[in-house]
Amino acid sequence: YYRIQATKRLGGGGNVKRKLLEKLNEPDRIELDKTQAKDATSSANITKIHFEPSHYTVLENAGYVTLNVIREGGNMRNSIYVDFSTEDGTATQGQDYEATEGTLIFYPTENRKQIQVKIIDDEIFEEDEHFAVKLSNIRVKDSQGQLTPGAYDKTVLLLEPTSAIVMIIDDDHSGMFVFETDEKTIIESDGVVVIKVLRTSGARGRVRIPYSTE
């Protein structure tokens, strides 16, 4: 009995071992805390440029679609330059929209810019189509007038997604109407069930759709 107790006391039990391990791991924990704090500080010092939102839906007869580009964080005293251009998806430039390209300039303290793209209306029935607007070639101009590409200046960043998608809804046809899902499972105690009907491939006029249960 006495020999066993002495062995436990000399071994220090689980508490001593745990404290020893915590002591050994403490430098790693301190280093991790320092790294996380450094990363947070570095992120706060970076100017990020991005679309907000990155998806747009517009009727074919809308005339234009306006996209928002946001600047956040970092040094607001610098001027930020970023190029933009349109790119075909299922929509085709010259037929469904006008090709557009240029350069946005965020002057000191400015945090929002807009891109306008002309939408071409026609009388031809088409499926809903989309195109993209892309951001590229970010540069920063400092207070001394020095313009530096983003690849060499880590204080600016194009934030993903660097493309925005524009969906053009055809308005030359009333559209097609379908249930969102073929089946819907509910709990009896829910009381009410909501069944969604989607309108695709057209948006012309007001449409009444009779429905019934059976």
Q: Find out whether 211 and 196 touch, Cβ atoms under 8 Å.
A: no
Residues 135 and 64 in one domain: yes
Considering only CA atoms, which of 81, 90, 57, 94 is closest in space to residue 135? 81
Task: Identify the CATH number of the domain in which residue 159 sits.
Answer: 2.60.40.2030
Instruction: Please state the domain count of the chain.
Output: 2
pLDDT in tens, 24-56: 666 655 555 555 544 444 567 899 999 999 999
Q: Is residue 203 part of a domain?
A: no
Residues 18 and 71 in one domain: no
**Rounded to whole angstroms, how far apart are CA atoms 202 and 40?**
47
Q: Is residue 99 part of a domain?
A: yes
CA distances from 58 to 20, 55, 130, 181, 203 (A): 64, 10, 10, 24, 11
Residue 32: give the domain boundaries.
2-44
At residue 17, the 3 state secondary structure works out as helix
Q: Find out whether 120 and 63 touch, Cβ atoms under 8 Å.
A: no
Residues 138 and 59 in one domain: yes
pLDDT in tens, 108-120: 999 999 999 999 9
Residues 87 and 134 in one domain: yes
Residue with tokens 């450094």, as numbered in its chain = 38
Task: Give the residue-averaged pLDDT of 158-182.
Answer: 83
- Pick the more confident residue, 81 or 161: 81
pLDDT in tens, 1-20: 445 455 545 555 556 556 66
Residues 75 and 39 in one domain: no
